[in-house]
A and B are shown apart, each in its own frame.
Chain A
């Protein structure tokens, strides 16, 4: 699936941390990928003599995958989306140039109305990162798009 990520994600380059959408079930789950290369802009400083992809940029990749899932489900993330949240992330192994991180994100509603995004990133099938976000129910709104309902 190759929608125009630069249209779907509101960020300027180089702040784009999803290279492709592999699959999406609106309102349920999305699978995306990020290729890590030595030419990544932020690896100039992380670190000058050795390249390892920052764990917090994996977090941003998961966040952008969440935004894509919301948009492809017929919703629009509010500008403050994920700016007020409870989150937990566990980084299991370094992500290095040459690696492809495949993210799987699931979106569920909790009993108290909040939204829960659960994500896992894998490199060659081996988990490299796990993450959960809890957000207020009003962090998204209907966009009028017809891709899905919730």
Chain B
């Protein structure tokens, strides 16, 4: 699958889509994506720094993409759910900085995955490192 098509697998939409583009996918190895948060500054609180929730959510959304690519795409009425996140946040991030999310599979199951991820600035400066688990849940629809 072309890296330009991979983003179509992401069910998250604005104002909570935190991946702008997929820049690299090596099957069985890693996925790299980028996000420029500057346009969202007011919606995300308007302070000097990008909230850590946004940093980690962008990494998780990158993980949702990799999990689907390495297992199976989400089916109708399925949605991704984060499980556990353990993270070391190394430094604050200013808004003009482009974020580079990179995730690698640690353990893949049919409908879940444990991933290792890093966040860097566009110049390669480390921002955070995390281990996260992602699973697929079924939407509880009324009448079902």
Chain B residues numbered 34-80 whose CB sits less than 8 Å from any CB in chain A: 42-49, 51-54, 56-57, 60, 77, 79
Chain A residues numbered 58-117 whose CB sits less than 8 Å from any CB in chain B: 59-60, 63, 79-80, 82-91, 94, 96
Majority secondary structure of chain A interface residues (helix, strand, loop or mixed): loop
Residue ID in chain A nearest B16 by CB atoms: A45
Chain B residues numbered 6-55 whose CB sits less than 8 Å from any CB in chain A: 11-17, 42-49, 51-54
Question: What A residues does B88 contact at CB under 8 A?
Answer: 85-86
Interface size of B by Cβ–Cβ distance < 8 Å?
41
Q: Which residues of A contact B (CB under 8 A)?
A: 10-12, 14-15, 41-48, 50, 52, 54-57, 59-60, 63, 79-80, 82-91, 94, 96
Q: Which residues of B contact A (CB under 8 A)?
A: 11-17, 42-49, 51-54, 56-57, 60, 77, 79, 81-93, 137, 139-141
Q: Across chains A and B, which 4 residue pairs bring their CB atoms closest together, nearest first?
A: A15-B45, A45-B16, A11-B45, A83-B92
Assess the A45–B92 pair: CB atoms within 8 A: no
Q: Kindly state the separation between the CA atoms of A5 and B47 in the bound complex, as whole angstroms.
A: 16
Assess the B54–A42 pair: CB atoms within 8 A: no
Q: Kindly state the separation between the CA atoms of A10 and B48 in the bound complex, as whole angstroms.
A: 11
Assess the A14–B43 pair: CB atoms within 8 A: yes
Q: Kindly state the separation between the CA atoms of A59 and B60 in the bound complex, as whole angstroms.
A: 13
Residue ID in chain B nearest A86 by CB atoms: B88
Assess the B91–A50 pair: CB atoms within 8 A: no
Assess the A82–B16 pair: CB atoms within 8 A: no
